[in-house]
Chains A and B, each alone.
Chain A
Amino acid sequence: MVFDFVSWFLGRRDKPRSKDLAKERLKVVLTHDRVDISPQMFEKLRRDLAIACAKYVEIDEAAMSVRLDSQDRRLALIASVPVLGTKATAYSSKRRGKMG
């Protein structure tokens, strides 16, 4: 209590300001409102994206992140897909494994 008062008096604030929460939450919800996509559909999109990527490269699906972002009312799908190896290297390393 006393500490709260002192830190308040010194102008220090550790509590997040409620407007920052409002802004963060609004940004997320509006981005989804704007594309009008349900969480289920979004999950399907993420899965399909993973499957598509996996056709060409070996990916770490658990570590992949996909999100929607908007700037000036324009939307972007931002994906980060960790690549473990190209198919060629994956193939050859497997082969090498077998041979060795």
Chain B
Amino acid sequence: MNGKVMVVTSGKGGVGKTTAVANIGCALARRGKKVALVDADIGLRNLDIVLGLENRIVFDIIHAMEGRCRLRQALIKDKRVQTLYLLPAAQSKDKEAIQPEQMKQLTGELRDQFDYVILDCPAGIERGFKNAIVGADDAIIITTPEVSAVRDADRIVGLLEAEGIEKPKLVINRIRPDMVKRGDMLDIDDVLDILAIDLLGVVPDDESVITSTNKGEPAVLDGASRAGEAFRRIAARLEGEDVPFLSMEAPTFWGRIKRFLGAAR
């Protein structure tokens, strides 16, 4: 197998990288792809709990890198989605514990066994970021429609380019249609106009992300979740399908009723 290694990054923290990795990975696996999710946020392990796999960790990424276990022993197999695997971050070490060459070697090994290797990048532009991007072919940049997140995203585009990762793709997360409608939030076109990179997806701000995270079940597994639908479409686009972007119109009164009736049926 010769899989694709993708890093999900943002610069700014808390914009939805881990959420995106869990959901996009889960959606790709549900499409039958073999997917490895790598938590590269060393010292701040998170992807395991978002995926509901926190109780199954025995070995972590550092154990695997240092040869203290086999790579396959450190990979946790998801029970809901057969072809989904997680390589958890180490919790007791810090970002300095990894060398870029080790990361390159690891992603190289994973690439041979999986269709997709998706790395959850730490916030910031320091060592942890550099380690997470070193073995990646492509990058997905997550931003929210806020000035600080967009500014950081722009910086990341420049840094990725400098490392030879051209043409990163953008996901705009946590869009609030009501605020966009009033002119109190940057809309999709504004963000694209400013960043001038290709759009991969748009995800609404959606309570179901929080409830699904509470349960440890990515929103893509919930057929009624709007954010889940947005992430499913992102997975389809990564697979080369030409699907329309999820509508970010503020739901009208009648639209809401229709949706309610639709969900009830």
Contacts and interface: CB of A to CB of B under 8 A. Distances in A.
Contacts of A20: 183
- The interface residues of chain A, by DSSP majority, are classed as helix
A19 B187 contact: yes
Contacts of A18: 183-184
A26 B151 contact: yes
A32 to B, nearest CB: 11
Contacts of A23: 186, 190, 193-194
Contacts of A29: 151
Contacts of B186: 19, 22-23
Contacts of B180: 19
Contact of B151 (A17, A33, A73): A33
B215 interface: no
A72 interface: yes
A34 B184 contact: no
Interface residues of A, number: 17
B158 A19 contact: no
Interface in B147-166: 147, 150-151, 154-155, 157-158
A30 interface: yes
A25 B147 contact: yes
A34 B190 contact: no
A30 B194 contact: yes
Nearest to B161: A73
Interface string B188-200: 0010011011000
B186 to A, nearest CB: 5
14 contacts: A13-B183, A17-B182, A18-B183, A19-B180, A20-B183, A22-B190, A26-B150, A29-B151, A30-B151, A30-B194, A34-B154, A71-B196, A72-B196, A73-B197
Interface of B: 146-147, 150-151, 154-155, 157-158, 180, 182-187, 190, 193-194, 196-197
